Structures are given as structure tokens and as C-alpha cells.
Chain A
């Protein structure tokens, strides 16, 4: 065991940090801020293509799939640094669906879609939830019906984030309504958003992040739009979610925010002459965040390591997701307290403090991932059953 970066990993972190300092121009930053941390703008697209061209998006992918052949640890280092730089990285596409397609996709998908993902030229949204199917995902009703040499898809999905600027939806459809268990009648499809039967309408959220309701009206796709086996979609859903969970709780942005708040508090003068950072309560809040971020870093890297070894444990992925998502909420409170009322001032105010206004935005988005990506109650069920062998109630 050696819980430290190797010299090569340290060098990679440095290289990437410089790379992103140059990449994140003021204009790009402004565009990303306007998109509320979602991306999708022209400069954002340009930057993603540049990362693709420079070989970063697949840094940890095998060479035969078009990557650089480093390990998932280097891949995680890359994602940590890109997110730390404040670039809204489309990790759902690159870190969770992409690897699934590379592993389980058919020849056409591997030939046409995977290289585009690595080039930063293809974006994919996730279509799981429906108005009546959330945590109980297997009850989904969107159907794909066999029709000649293709499939006809009908239904509605909810919370299809990023769909309004994505090229495909990674869509879970019911293909066998008679299956003995509902999750055994689900298949995955890559559905192009360019199809005339596809439409979306925005859902505006507390944190100003836009998400979508998406509609599938007699969309006809060819047989090779299916991913993996007929009625074998559930396994793809769960392993996609396992991968997504790691990306959701990336510690890079929090580490950066902590550092920024510390520097700010070191310089802020108090009315009676001292500096804010000298206050005992401020140090206490900062120390709580610091200790928590360290754990998050280790939890993340242990999983990246486990992926390298090929033994990512379900309970560990769920533990990371629960810990990270609940910790972020604490972070935005503890750091918000340090900044005080200024942490209530929106970035739309002229001269707003960028560190404080970031917290003003993030505290409003923090609740999303305690239920998104598999609600934390289900994650805790997984942990007690898979991690501690506790028999659970049948559902």
C-alpha cells in the first residue's frame, strides 16, 4: 500500500493544472457561469474538442479503444483537474456511458460513437426516470416495440439533464412487458435527439440548473441502436450508475473552493483589526471541511484504484456517493457561514465576490445528488446488504 501519488502522477496533475489554467479563458469562464455550470455553449464545445484533440478525454482508456492507455487513476486525475478548473465536464458521456459503449456496444457504436466521445464531439444524456418511475426505476413504461428490422419507441422521460444540447439519449426502454420480473424486460437504446419524433421541454430547478422532460413519439431506430442484449439493459443501467456515482462526488471542485475561502479569509480584515481567519470558529469550520475533503479524496482514489484492479465493489461505490453528496451540503454550509451574508449575494450583482457567489449558487444545487444518481436510501440499502451482508426486506 502506498497512499500517495507517484512522481508520474504528480507530474500529470501539474501538467493538467497548467493546461486548464490556459484553457479556461475569461470568456470561457463567463460562458460557463452563464450556463450555470452545465456547459453547452460554443466556447465550451470548442474547449471540449481541444481536450479531445490533445488526447485527454481518454487518457485512462486502453489504446485499442483510442485512449492513451493509462489507468483509471490517471483518468480520475484528469477529471479532477478539469472539474477543479471550473469547466462543466460532460462526465456522464465520457466517464459512464462512454466506457459502457466501448465495452458492450456493437461494431457500429464502437466505430462511430466511441471515437466521437473521445474527440469531444458527441454528447449523451441519460434517459431513465419517468413521471412514474424514479427510485423504482424498473417500473419504467417507455416502450420499444419490434417493427421489421428496427424498433419503434414511445414514451416520456423526466430529469433528462443536458438533453437539450446532447446528440443522443442513452435510453432505457421496456422491450418485454411480460417479463417475470420488471427489470428483466428492459433494453438500452442510443436514440438520436435529431429524430423528428424527439422533443424536450425545460424544467427549471432551484439551483437554476436546467433539466428536461423528454418525449419519444414513434421514434424509429434500426436494430443496431440497441446496446448490449435484448432485455439485458438492467445490468448496463446498474454498472453505468456505479461509474456515474464516482464522478458525481469528484472532490476537485471542493478542494479548490476550500483553498479559495482560506486565502480569502486570510486577507479579510475584521472591524477590530484582526483577520477573519484568526477567529476560532472560522478555523473550526475550515478544519471540518479540510478533514472531510481529505476523506472524499481518498474514497474517490480508492475507487479509481479498484477500477484499475478490476474489482470496484458495489458497496464502496454507494458509500462514496452517500458520503460525498451529503458532505457537499455540509461544505456549502460551513464555508457559507465563514463568508457570512456575502454568501447570499448572487453573481448577478455587480462586483459580487466570485467565491461567495459560487457558494450562493451551489447550496441551491446541493440536494440534487442526494437523490439523483440513485437516491441515498437505496445506496444505504446496498451498503448494508452488499457491504455488511445484512439480509434486507424483499421489494
Chain B
């Protein structure tokens, strides 16, 4: 049991925090509000690439730093703290990682160096209408034709589909699941924009007899199933890490605010009711932090982490919800004023809470595992 960061982990954390605090300001973020501009800071993306951060978990033979999933998780946590306008989770965790883990050498060579350099953008289609379980796609199907696949169906909530070079996507097949890299410009693909609560560009991706060549197929059958399970756990934990950064920051903003705001002639932090609401957030954030780190650590070490990932997501949902409303409440009207930066945290905390399944649904999944004898306390 080691809860300390290694030097390497500290370096990644500090570097990311430095770049983000230098470059992400409330003023800059405001330009993306209400979809006034595309929520993607390409200059910052380039800075991340130049600092090596986009390749933090990409092997060195493909131009990355060759660090592990833990370092990548810390990067996402920092992005959450700053609510950075960068598609880190969809690009790096949902798309690049499974390519590195499951793809052929040729596919890795084709994509990973450009992932690390930021030359291309990848994303993943993990949800369907009213189906936010990536491991159970049923509205998208694939049929083999020669060594190609023909896809039909529809994915929803796909981040940055309109500018992505490839979309990692899973489709149901007769023998399991096919996971492919879809070119959004391919014939038969149509995109329709969705406006979501965080102002992130997201799209419904409709597939009408879309042909995927052998070179863009990552896995089929049971391998496809394994890939998507692998990817779903990592993406879920990445959402937890993002939630951790965002809720920690929202909590600390609130604590600072109460240490400056006076009412009845005294700082409002001196009211016990105020202090205790913040203390509850502190406990909550600590629980989220430790469960998130545990899940990341286990995945990083190649251990089974299904229970730990589900538990982290339950905490991410509950803690995000509670911290969000406590933070707004402690700020009073200031918290909801769009000229003050807190409100954006509220939308992201909600997003991370609901994405890939909220607490109730995840509790139900964990409950099934408990019933099946798969989740005893060791």
C-alpha cells in the first residue's frame, strides 16, 4: 500500500498543472459558452503535445513518453481541475489506449505517433440513444463482407466527431462485437450536432451501409467484446479522475470564497454551518480521490478492477452531485453568476456524474456482482 506519488507522477502532475493554469482562464473559457466557438483550444493542445503530455502513456517506440495509465489519470485529473477545453478523454483514453493495447503493429504505427504529436484527433462512440453502456451496443450492427465489415445504426453523444480523423466504434455482430476505426467522412456516415450541457461539441453519428476496410478493423468476435470491456473500464475511471479534479477545485474555490466574504461583520467561514458543509465536501472528495486512485492503480498494474471501477464511478456520481450543490450554495448568488467561474464546474460535475451511467445504475451493476458472489470484501 503506497499512497505517495513517484517523482515521475509528480512531474506529470506539475507540468500539466502549470500549463493549464497559465493558459486556461475564465475569460478564455467564456468564448466557448453557448457554443459561441468550438470548445477546443488548439494552441493549448499544441502546447500539451510539445510538452509530451499527449504521449504520456504512449510507448516510446511510437513517440510517447512511455509512462503508465496512472500518469495519464493524473493528467486527466488536472484537466478536470481546470475544466480544460481539450478532448483528452475521448482522444487519449477511449481511442489511443485501446489501439496501443489491441491493434496490429501496422495500425499502431499509423495512428499512435500522430496521437502523441497532436497531428490527428481520435474519438470514440461509446453511447447510443438511451443506452450509455458501452459494453452493450445494440443499435449499431456490423456484417462481414469478405474481409470488410458493413455497418448500420446510430451512435449518440460522440465528442468531436466532426473533426475527428477516426472514431473508435463498437457494433454488434452475430458472434460478439466488432470494434473499428470509422472515418467520419466515409460514404454512408452522417453527423448531426447535439447541444449538451457542457457545450462540448457532440454528435449523433448515423451509419448507413458504411464499409470498413480490413485495415480499420481493430477486433472482432470475443476479442471485440474484450476490447470494449477494457476500454469502458478505463474511460469510466478517466471520468472519475476528471470528476476528482473538478470537484476538488470547486470545493477549494468555495472554501476560499467563505474566507473572504463577510456577513454580520464576520467572515462567513466562521459560521459552523458553513464550515461543516465544506468539511463534508472534504470528506467526499477524499473518498472519491482514494477510490479513483485505487481503480487507476489496479488497472495500471494489470489487476482485475471491475468492482473497484464501479465503486469509483458510484463515488464520482455522488460526490460530484453533492460538491456541486454545496459549492454553489456556499457561494450564494455568486456561484450561479456567469461572470464568476464556478458555474462551469457545475455543468461538468453533472456531465461526469451521468456519463456512462449514474450512481443508481452503477450500484445496480455492483449489486448484481455482489449477488453473484463476485464482490466480497477481501
List chain B residues, Cβ under 8 A from A306.
3
Whether the Cβ atoms of A388 and B252 lie closer than 8 Å is: yes
Query: Restricting to A267-290, which residues have a CB under 8 Å from any CB of B?
Result: 277-278, 280, 282-284, 286-288, 290
Chain B proximity mask over A1-42: 1 for CB below 8 Å, otherwise 0: 111111001000000000000000000000000000000000
Across the interface, name the chain A residue whose C-beta is closest to B284: A323
Chain A proximity mask over B147-166: 1 for CB below 8 Å, otherwise 0: 00000000000000000000
Is B186 positioned at the interface, with any CB of A under 8 Å from its CB?
no
Contact of A2 among B270, B280, B297, B311 (CB under 8 A): B297
Whether the Cβ atoms of A284 and B2 lie closer than 8 Å is: no
Whether the Cβ atoms of B287 and A299 lie closer than 8 Å is: yes
Binds B, one of A129-137, A177-185, A258-266: A258-266
Whether the Cβ atoms of A384 and B290 lie closer than 8 Å is: no
List chain A residues, Cβ under 8 A from B376.
258-259, 262
Is B1 positioned at the interface, with any CB of A under 8 Å from its CB?
yes
Whether the Cβ atoms of B279 and A384 lie closer than 8 Å is: yes
With contacts defined as CB atoms under 8 Å apart, how many contacts are there between chain A and chain B in the complex?
176
Is B293 positioned at the interface, with any CB of A under 8 Å from its CB?
yes
Across the interface, name the chain B residue whose C-beta is closest to A278: B371
Is A390 positioned at the interface, with any CB of B under 8 Å from its CB?
yes
Is B373 positioned at the interface, with any CB of A under 8 Å from its CB?
yes
Binds B, one of A107-115, A226-234, A351-359, A375-383: A375-383
Whether the Cβ atoms of B6 and A1 lie closer than 8 Å is: yes
Whether the Cβ atoms of B311 and A294 lie closer than 8 Å is: yes
Is B308 positioned at the interface, with any CB of A under 8 Å from its CB?
yes
Whether the Cβ atoms of B272 and A316 lie closer than 8 Å is: no
CB distance from A144 to the nearest CB of B (A): 33
Is B238 positioned at the interface, with any CB of A under 8 Å from its CB?
no
Whether the Cβ atoms of B286 and A255 lie closer than 8 Å is: no
Is B346 positioned at the interface, with any CB of A under 8 Å from its CB?
no
List chain A residues, Cβ under 8 A from B135.
none
Assembly CA distance A114 to B376 (angstroms): 38
Whether the Cβ atoms of A388 and B377 lie closer than 8 Å is: no
Whether the Cβ atoms of A387 and B269 lie closer than 8 Å is: no
Q: How large is the interface on B (under 10, 10 to 19, 20 to 34, 35 or more residues)?
A: 35 or more
Whether the Cβ atoms of A299 and B290 lie closer than 8 Å is: yes
Assembly CA distance A302 to B5 (angstroms): 13
Whether the Cβ atoms of A283 and B297 lie closer than 8 Å is: no
Whether the Cβ atoms of A286 and B2 lie closer than 8 Å is: no
| Given known A304-B1, A392-B270, contact A387–B282 (CB-CB < 8 A) | yes
List chain A residues, Cβ under 8 A from B1.
2-6, 9, 73, 301, 304-305
List chain A residues, Cβ under 8 A from B375.
290
**Which secondary structure dominates chain B's binding surface?**
helix
List chain B residues, Cβ under 8 A from A335.
none
Is B314 positioned at the interface, with any CB of A under 8 Å from its CB?
yes
Across the interface, name the chain A residue whose C-beta is closest to B74: A1
List chain A residues, Cβ under 8 A from B220.
none
| Given known A2-B297, A291-B314, contact A258–B286 (CB-CB < 8 A) | no
Whether the Cβ atoms of B286 and A283 lie closer than 8 Å is: no
Assembly CA distance A44 to B270 (angstroms): 47
Is B303 positioned at the interface, with any CB of A under 8 Å from its CB?
yes
Whether the Cβ atoms of B276 and A388 lie closer than 8 Å is: no
Whether the Cβ atoms of A258 and B377 lie closer than 8 Å is: yes
Whether the Cβ atoms of A280 and B364 lie closer than 8 Å is: yes
Is A298 positioned at the interface, with any CB of B under 8 Å from its CB?
yes
CB distance from A375 to the nearest CB of B (A): 12
Is A315 positioned at the interface, with any CB of B under 8 Å from its CB?
yes
Whether the Cβ atoms of B279 and A283 lie closer than 8 Å is: no
Assembly CA distance A238 to B280 (angstroms): 22
Is A124 positioned at the interface, with any CB of B under 8 Å from its CB?
no
Whether the Cβ atoms of A388 and B286 lie closer than 8 Å is: no
Contact of A290 among B70, B266, B269, B311 (CB under 8 A): B311
Is B131 positioned at the interface, with any CB of A under 8 Å from its CB?
no
List chain B residues, Cβ under 8 A from A391.
259, 267, 269-270
List chain A residues, Cβ under 8 A from B258.
390
Whether the Cβ atoms of B311 and A305 lie closer than 8 Å is: no
CB distance from B358 to the nearest CB of A (A): 13
Whether the Cβ atoms of B255 and A1 lie closer than 8 Å is: no
Whether the Cβ atoms of B3 and A322 lie closer than 8 Å is: no
Chain B proximity mask over A236-267: 1 for CB below 8 Å, otherwise 0: 00000000000000000001101100100110
List chain A residues, Cβ under 8 A from B293.
1, 3
| Given known A4-B303, A283-B368, A388-B282, contact A380–B276 (CB-CB < 8 A) | yes
CB distance from A99 to the nearest CB of B (A): 20
Whether the Cβ atoms of B363 and A390 lie closer than 8 Å is: no
CB distance from A275 to the nearest CB of B (A): 8
CB distance from B255 to the nearest CB of A (A): 4
Whether the Cβ atoms of B315 and A291 lie closer than 8 Å is: yes
Query: Restricting to B239-287, which residues have a CB under 8 Å from any CB of A?
Result: 251-252, 255-256, 258-259, 266-267, 269-272, 274-276, 278-280, 282-283, 286-287
Assembly CA distance A280 to B298 (angstroms): 29
List chain A residues, Cβ under 8 A from B280.
380
In addition to A286-B371, A384-B275, A393-B266, 6 A-B residue pairs with Cβ atoms within 8 Å of each other are A2-B301, A287-B367, A290-B375, A291-B314, A305-B1, A383-B283
Interchain residue pairs A-B with the least CB separation, the first 3? A283-B367, A255-B377, A384-B275
Give 19 A-B contacts (CB < 8 Å), ordered by A residue: A2-B1, A3-B3, A266-B371, A282-B371, A283-B367, A287-B363, A287-B364, A293-B377, A294-B308, A295-B291, A295-B311, A379-B279, A381-B276, A381-B279, A384-B269, A387-B282, A391-B259, A391-B267, A391-B270
